[in-house]
Amino acid sequence: MSLVLEQVGFSVRQHVLLADISLEVRPGEVLVVLGPNGAGKSTLLRLMAGEMAPTQGQVILDQRPLSAWRAGELAQRRSVMPQASMLAFPFSVRDIVALGRAPYRRISPRRLDQEMIDRALALADLTAMANRAYPALSGGEKQRVHLARALVQLWGMDMAPVAGKSEAGGHRFLLLDEPTAGLDIAHQHALLGVARQQAMDYGVGVLAILHDFNQAALYADRVAILKAGRLVICAPTLQAMVPDILSDVFQSPIRLIRDAVTQQPVFISDGHIRDGQGGVGISPPSSGLPPVPVHQAAQ
């Protein structure tokens, strides 16, 4: 009972964005997808969400091709937090979050909807701004609104999915496209902690596209790494996140060290960017910061 890509490819005008991808999101786990810009990560997520159809292979949800699911059924089985959402209408935060209840409009009591919305607002740290106009929010605040909206859709009719299953008996899936973009560090960890909780406590299958290696190491059960539209590896986190593989895929020297206190793995980069020919190109200042002008340093 999983969400599966079977030898999936996707091309646009003979330009291959994904090729021969086989990948599985399992109930109760967090699968993180890593890859450089243009690797095909967002395309992969949209295929898994059913927003686009593959040009090769198929996407399967609980042993049925995604194309065989009706839109309403699919909306009750998976929710998506997009990378960005352009909403210009002056809806309130609460109104946007309430959109996640649309797949249950005919069957969900208003009281249950409101309880779920309140709970999601609290988890996303939005309770105090529930009545604010969405367009007036910062980018990070908007990200948290869409997390809350995805959660109230994910929760279906029972708020806490029993073993991650919907009322129809199938598992549920939460798909997150660069969910930490624009968030401060505290809200990044809070968001990923919520996703981790949905997987651990309720058996939800979570797929998250991330750019931060250390967040992937901290929250993922498995990691899939893409390069130029192809799957390089998918394995348990530290089996996939091998410095040699990361250095090759991201064209920058990556090292793994252990935190002296927690012994958690920490990935660091030496800051050089390979030129694609085996040499080294741009290298930022060793401090990572621009030099301070003389008149400022003297103040």
What pLDDT does 284 receive? 45
Sign of the alpha-carbon torsion through 117, 123, 128, 132: negative
**Helix, coil or strand: residue 125:** coil
pLDDT digits (tens, 9 = 90+) for 91-111: 999 999 999 999 999 999 999
CA distance 264 to 276: 31
The label of the residue with tokens 């973009």 reads: 181
What pLDDT does 111 receive? 94
CATH architecture for segment(s) 3-237: 3-Layer(aba) Sandwich (3.40)
What pLDDT does 293 receive? 40
How remote is the C-alpha of 202 from its chain's centroid? 18
Within a 13 Å sphere around the CA of 4, how many CA atoms are in the beta-carbon half?
Answer: 13
CATH 3.40.50.300 domain position(s) in the chain: 3-237
* Token pair of 201 as six digits: 């406590």
* Residue segments in the chain with a per-residue pLDDT below the cut of 70: 1, 84-86, 159-169, 272-299
What pLDDT does 161 receive? 46
What pLDDT does 96 receive? 95
What pLDDT does 162 receive? 42
What pLDDT does 166 receive? 47
CA distance 196 to 198: 5
pLDDT digits (tens, 9 = 90+) for 102-136: 999 999 999 999 999 999 999 999 999 999 999 99
What pLDDT does 179 receive? 94
